[in-house]
Structure 1
Amino acid sequence: MSLNERVQEELEALEAILMDDISITYDEQSCLTLIKSTIFPSTANEVNKQYVCVTIEVKLPEDYPDSEPNVQLRNPRGLDDSTVNDLYKSIKEKCTEYLGQPVIFELIELIRESLTESNLPTCQCAVCLYGFSEGDSFTKTQCFHYFHSYCLYNHLETTKRHYQEEQEKLPAWQKSTKGFQAICPVCRESINCDVEELKTALPPKDLENAQNFEVTKDLRVLQDRMKQLFSYQKSKGGIIDVEAEENKLLLITETSDNGSTDTNEDPGPSDGALESDAQRGQRFDYRVSSGLNNR
């Protein structure tokens, strides 16, 4: 049997077993066969319990299987770097063991078994930045990103409140008729969640067991400086809306074409000059009074 016939037989077997779960293409110019398959853990018919996944991309060189295939893992979901690195090591060992024999199906099954054994996200919750512990209630979005249910609920409630506040500021003709749409905090794709179910979730264990925040000596010194600066700003007529400040998520500044910050009529100190707290307070007063601080 020629080499091409051996490869063709393996590819036909893969298509017969995996059907729509595998994609096989052949590049005549490079003489490379490209195989792609997204692999999930084995959970019988309970698809909603597949919490991790990864796409395997295999390039078969012209002399495969007498040489090892080039294997890449793409778009890991719920897997941290150490888990992916462990998979690469296992793949390398399997390719060495099966040198001269068909190995693609073996690689797919190897990855599937690994995902099944550790079918729990090893990444961090993008909201609280803690990991997922046994017993934590977590949610997998349609885009395969993971959050503690408790954290996701609080995020959605906050973004919904901000959305409603912004809508109330608009004239009737500018208000959206579609209503609030929840989006993934990571990729901004639209997501659909049962908010009432999320609401009942308990805080994650790591968050509950986190060490209480303590004010250090250095932080107290900084607080005193900020208190003095606040008093100075207030005495000069500077107005700070504390409630509005607490609801801000990001501060966006505009930059000019040359990369410097655009301050319009608000020039900073001259080159080489050091700016004192009082000068910074005066610059803040100017921005408040001119409306520049409300961009």
Structure 2
Amino acid sequence: MSAAAVDERVYEELQALEAIFAPDIVIKREDGVPKSVEINVLPSTGDKSDEQYVRLTLEVYLTPEYPDSSPKVIMRNPRGLDDRILSCIQSDIEDKLLENIGHLIVYELIEMVRECLTQCNLPRGQCVICLHGFVKGDVFIKTPCFHYFHSQCLSKHFIAGKKYYEEEIDKLPTWQKIEAKPYQQTCPVCRSTVQFNVDELKKAPPPVESIDAQPFHLTDEIRAMQERMAALMAHQLARGGVIGVGDTEPPPLIITDPADQEEPKSSTSGTQNAPKPETSSSVRATGNSNASVAPASPTRPPYRGPYRGFNRRGKPGRRGRGGSR
């Protein structure tokens, strides 16, 4: 489709979108023909950008017949939104498209999604550190990568991480300590580099749900799970797949060849007078014709053919360029 075939109303709409949402909006074109509109939608919080706890990327793919046919809308990279809210937003988008066939709809879609995010501007799910949810009264923090944690939980995570880092550094030799990189705070979810004041985070109160939480007691379900995990641990220890409790060093690695696992076949005749095969490390190739050659493995016969790479004098080396073969 050429640029001349595009409805003039589409160009006017795109110009208006660029004027309103620049530089947050990206309009992709091919040969001058607009193909899609992409924008990061955030809740409306005025000038308080640090209180924008949810977000998503909205992509609107324009069909060749747009606006006479509905565009294709995709939501990507949601942050702070659970599946229930995303399903509601998707349902509202589909209803909006059906009701406005033949009309320019991109701006209305963006504003509708923004309004939905404003109404649910509170992170959903759980804090991955304490596993408690976010409720009214909690003091939590948002990372630049849009992940959420209770402030006190995040401070404990950073303190424990730095302690573990220092313990591991103490085990290294001096030359490795000099080359080691300094401790860096990272997001517990995506491992992105972050920077927070731990002393300020420690001042926050604990999660509200942790205060009213019932004391832990061992239930039959937990006891059954412990038994299953203990059986699995014993099985892995028996197979050598887990380092035992109390080991200060990992077990040594033994590199074996599949042929080493096979036992040599016994012969019914001449077993007493048969010479023992020598290892490859005890035999070296020399110019002496009486030198023995070690077999490649106990079950493989020794190689008796000519060796490439030996010159006419019987010494190992490369044959000269242009030499006779």
TM over 0.5, shorter chain: yes
State the structure with bigger RCO (CA 8 A, min sep 6), 1 or 2.
1
Residue 222 of structure 1, CA deviation: 6.5
Task: Give the gaps of 5 or more residues in structure 2.
Answer: 235-242, 257-325
Residue 115 of structure 1, CA deviation: 1.2
For 1:264 and 1:213, the matched residues in 2 are separated by 46
1:115 alignment counterpart: 117
Q: Which amino acid aligns with 1:51?
A: Y
Pick aligned residue for 1:27 from 26, 30, 35: 30
Checking the alignment, whether the CA contact within 8 Å between 2:27 and 2:34 is kept in structure 1 is no
Cα-Cα RMSD: 3.3
For 1:42 and 1:158, the matched residues in 2 are separated by 36
Residue 60 of structure 1, CA deviation: 0.6
Q: Which amino acid aligns with 2:35?
A: T
2:211 alignment counterpart: 208
Residue 241 of structure 1, CA deviation: 4.0
2:180 equivalent to 1:181: no
Q: Which amino acid aligns with 2:182?
A: G
2:66 equivalent to 1:64: yes
Aligned length: 239
1:167 alignment counterpart: 169
Pick aligned residue for 2:87 from 85, 88, 99: 85
CA separation of 1:104 and 1:263: change in aligned 2, threshold 3 A: farther
2:145 alignment counterpart: 143
- If the length of structure 1 is used for normalisation, what is the TM-score? 0.72
CA separation of 1:203 and 1:263: change in aligned 2, threshold 3 A: farther
Checking the alignment, whether the CA contact within 8 Å between 1:21 and 1:38 is kept in structure 2 is yes
Report Cα offsets for 1:146-194 as digits up to 9, x if no partner. Answer: 1111211111111111001001111222125542110001111100112
Checking the alignment, whether the CA contact within 8 Å between 1:32 and 1:61 is kept in structure 2 is no
CA separation of 1:263 and 1:118: change in aligned 2, threshold 3 A: farther
Residue 73 of structure 1, CA deviation: 0.7
1:228-267 aligned within 5 A: 240-241=245-246
2:100 alignment counterpart: 98
1:3-42 aligned within 5 A: 4-28=7-31, 33-42=35-44
Larger radius of gyration: 2
Stretch moving more, 167-176 or 153-162: 167-176
For 2:193 and 2:180, the matched residues in 1 are separated by 17
Q: Percent identity?
A: 43
Q: Which amino acid aligns with 2:40?
A: T
Report Cα offsets for 1:265-292 as digits up to 9, x if no partner. Answer: 9xxxxxxxxxxxxxxxxxxxxxxxxxxx
Checking the alignment, whether the CA contact within 8 Å between 2:126 and 2:134 is kept in structure 1 is yes
Residue 220 of structure 1, CA deviation: 9.5
Pick aligned residue for 2:194 from 191, 197, 201: 191
Report Cα offsets for 1:115-141 as digits up to 9, x if no partner. Answer: 112211113212122221011111100
Task: Give the gaps of 5 or more residues in structure 1.
Answer: 231-237, 245-251, 254-261, 266-295
2:41 equivalent to 1:45: no
For 2:245 and 2:120, the matched residues in 1 are separated by 50
